[in-house]
Structure 1
């Protein structure tokens, strides 16, 4: 069967009208033009392809998929329907089948740069940077110096922990006119990865000087500056950007979110007050403004705003969580419980509501606190087993400590938006580093954690136990190096499920401390966030020990006791999420 039989003049006219409607974004009108051709049994590859595009515009994705498959069956060597099918399947989150379409596209169109770019982009989305690399290299060979291909290649290299190679790629791009701000920002990230923090800050500043709306550069610069002793300038980029772009909602949200995260309450209060006037009805800005009021000394004003948002016709989980916070802070655990329960009903996998609910139940002497977070049943300790190739735990930990020391690098201060005080934190996702020692740690922890998860009971009503599939993925991971007087403020991990502390090395003073009393450097469970103003003793104190892994639900309050020593305390930590059970 020929893929494109001749069409009558009337059919050609209808097809051209449908093409124009598709160009205008009028999918339904185009469908009405094309459907009579299909009903008349016109079997033509281009008709099916155009009908698919019209259906896609109209939101009829299943029909679009069927029509693209028909076009491909008629003419499998035509690149266009393969490209359209790949894009459609990505929209439908059918990424496995989309990858098949993207690979077929580069077979039928081997010189199509967009085909290789689309393949690389999808492979990165699927987390396969190693396979994405040759796709971007092929695109670069087709269009030497192409910005998009170069950016993709640099990103693929970075995700393989090959920052120096990636920097060479972006370095060749950023000197040319017209380079996208996204690539200039990536260049800054790579400088930071290589511990060139001052150069990274300068690069971010250069980006936002010409593109103040580049939020990744703004946010990263604001978090970086306190770590290199320039905290007083952390929000300067936002100040200039908001003057230049006063109508940019995304910029206002980013500025308010960053000021809130860095606990810069005067700036958060001033910006959120302006933002809620400019963009009324934005729940995030309203809640952030309420928080800024509370932390600026007016918790009653905060509560008035939060309870209006939490109890309105469209209840907001973030507002309910923060209402619970301020009810706890003002001594009303009964009201805090109501808000926390509402928050957990609206967002059952977000951890903050459960933390506040546990605190409210504790203040109310409610036995459900122990059901929710039992410090004996829900906190586990394991000793790391030596990874394959190591005779004992000590030899492995000695190598691990040396590797981590090199990763802590040049930052002099702790990140202001994290829990550590008097210490440093590694950049990025530690377990994605392509260092054999880090990979051995990740694999061993992964196996031991899943073995422990298999011992837990199933409880469909429990926020931690009901999500246990027996399998995990590491959402984020990092290392902390605390120095003399260092500690962690009490906190939770709001986007996690299972959190942790793994002890790599300890100061001799901590190792030799008596087991009784406030053990220096110890991990303390059950003491709420200090901003709540509650004087509650720990529910459990876990003595640190080199090689020990401590696991606990991410909603469990935890912090550490300061220690005095000239030697650092080195840990690795991670948040894990459950993944579907494996066959």
Structure 2
């Protein structure tokens, strides 16, 4: 009779060769001979995961761990599965148990740091990186690279560069550190150096999708689309779901909409073997405002994918956009019930509750998720909508106090400019004058417009940095007058200090607008006007005006915008990041140019 060690090796070989179905059959046969053998159960769980049967895999793995509770590899795998299921708190605990079982186990340290960064748990991530560094005596290039990623996540690009450089000193062949270094350089405007590092890595045989994607990004920023496109095609062929999104965006922004739709149809059609790429395909179609294609392409999925909660949630989103509110709710309910810790599924469930008139249910779950993620502005926005629809106007007005929280201010001419007109003209020419793109990037609020490609906070051109400097005085005045009421999500985070975490510029074309949106990771948001079309002063429909309070989804009861501000060049409008805000479409051919920013409390990292 074959012993457990031989069976384990056979199952492992099948998994490694991509034969997950056969591995599952072999593991079941072996478990009939060796019931509850932990390593066999572990491999069975891995095979189930490869077959996209995540909800079946997790309890099998938990049974394996009950038989070997200090097996760091199993605990790390459990963390990965719980993360995929959306149980992020459970994943954190699993990674910590793995580290407790073996403090020097690097995979769990890395996974924990990555997850904490995704959760915006910077304090915990800092502690975890410090543990990793301590476990290796700061001699391990992996630990230094993890520190660089932490700093990069906090957008401390130059500090991150130092950590990546130190990791490369320890190990000059450390590919992740070289990649991290390149990814920081592109953020601070050293695009050519980033490109050259990527090319060197690729020439050395390192063609991981993230390297190809970074090369493509640098080439796109250098307007070398002909070089960027093959890199993205290669990354897509390698199975990268992020590359599907990047390539779609390139095709979309350069006016090749039909090519983009063909790419996404192919990604969805291959959903049996590449589920993450298929999921990316649905997400991009939703961003392209093609819910009809999401609904029709859903039939291309194999049956097991059509019942998968994550895919079902995308169908629900499309049905919401198509006005099929009851079908959207039913599918969102099924998906969220299966994965109740999954943030994306939770948000769609709450939105489907609002759209189908289940306001009490929406408020209940908005409160649950607001307690879990108090700094995510999305939960505040849907909570406010629930209060409004329930007629709980005191609670609604406490959040959406437009007169108190929406404050226009006038910007003084940045240094080096004799007038605002001179500054605006120079800024628009330098930031937008040579844009090769034809339309807005996907996943943003702008429609029929062009967006600057990079976070302008780190753009070293004087016209940009002088603008950033000029913003500090009016923003500080806004922060000073807010107060520190602990019961309000805006004022409770007020420390009296702030930093500008993000800044970009939007050039709206004829018919351009911003759909209503919030800034989930923000605190105070803004609109600053550099050019305003003439109809903003005369149009009875308020063309080009910024509006507040109207959600992007249709509710059974009226929920129109309640507050408007007329745009004027030189005006900075500040407001809470959780307030729904959008614009009335411009009607003429003259552009509307803004340079918004996101303000965060505290001191910049």
Asked if 1:94 corresponds to 2:122, the answer is: no
- Give TM-score scaled by structure 1 length: 0.72
Offset at residue 187 of structure 1 (A): 0.7
Aligned residue in 2 for 1:448? 474
Offset at residue 580 of structure 1 (A): 7.0
Aligned residue in 2 for 1:519? 542
Offset at residue 134 of structure 1 (A): 6.7
Offset at residue 555 of structure 1 (A): 2.6
Tell me which of 424, 447, 450 is aligned to 1:397: 424
Aligned residue in 1 for 2:563? 540
The secondary structure found in structure 2 opposite 1:151 is helix
Aligned residue in 1 for 2:218? 190
Could you list the per-position Cα deviations for residues 522-544 of structure 1 after superposition, in whole angstroms to 9, with x for gaps in the alignment?
11222332544765543112011
Q: Distance in 2 between matches of 1:343 and 1:64?
A: 32
The secondary structure found in structure 2 opposite 1:158 is helix
CA spacing shift, 1:129–1:372, aligned 2, 3 Å: closer
Tell me which of 549, 556, 577 is aligned to 1:554: 577
Q: Distance in 1 between matches of 2:338 and 2:241?
A: 31
Does the Cα contact within 8 Å between 1:307 and 1:320 map onto a contact in 2?
Answer: no
CA spacing shift, 1:311–1:385, aligned 2, 3 Å: same
Aligned residues: 506
Offset at residue 423 of structure 1 (A): 1.4
Tell me which of 173, 178, 188 is aligned to 1:160: 188
Aligned residue in 2 for 1:325? 351
Offset at residue 502 of structure 1 (A): 0.8
Asked if 1:207 corresponds to 2:235, the answer is: yes
Q: Distance in 2 between matches of 1:103 and 1:381?
A: 52
Aligned residue in 2 for 1:6? none
Aligned residue in 2 for 1:265? 291
Offset at residue 386 of structure 1 (A): 3.6
CA spacing shift, 1:525–1:102, aligned 2, 3 Å: same
Offset at residue 486 of structure 1 (A): 1.9
Q: Distance in 1 between matches of 2:553 and 2:151?
A: 44
CA RMSD of aligned residues (A): 4.3
User: Where do 1:69-468 residues align within 5 Å?
Assistant: 93-94=126-127, 97=130, 105=138, 124=152, 127-130=155-158, 133=161, 147-148=175-176, 150-175=178-203, 177-209=205-237, 211=238, 213-241=239-267, 246-269=272-295, 277-278=303-304, 283-296=309-322, 298-308=324-334, 314=340, 318-319=344-345, 321-330=347-356, 333=359, 336-338=362-364, 340-341=366-367, 343-345=369-371, 347-368=373-394, 369-388=396-415, 390=417, 393-406=420-433, 409-468=435-494
The secondary structure found in structure 2 opposite 1:422 is strand
Does the Cα contact within 8 Å between 1:167 and 1:187 map onto a contact in 2?
Answer: yes
Offset at residue 174 of structure 1 (A): 3.5
Please identify, of 318-327 and 410-419, the stretch whose mean Cα deviation from structure 2 is larger: 318-327
Could you list the per-position Cα deviations for residues 367-406 of structure 1 after superposition, in whole angstroms to 9, with x for gaps in the alignment?
2222220111121111123445555544433432232224
Does the Cα contact within 8 Å between 1:309 and 1:315 map onto a contact in 2?
Answer: no
In structure 1, list runs of 5 or more residues that go unmatched: 1-24, 31-54, 66-80, 107-111
The structure having more radius of gyration, on CA atoms, is: 1
In structure 2, list runs of 5 or more residues that go unmatched: 1-64, 73-94, 115-124
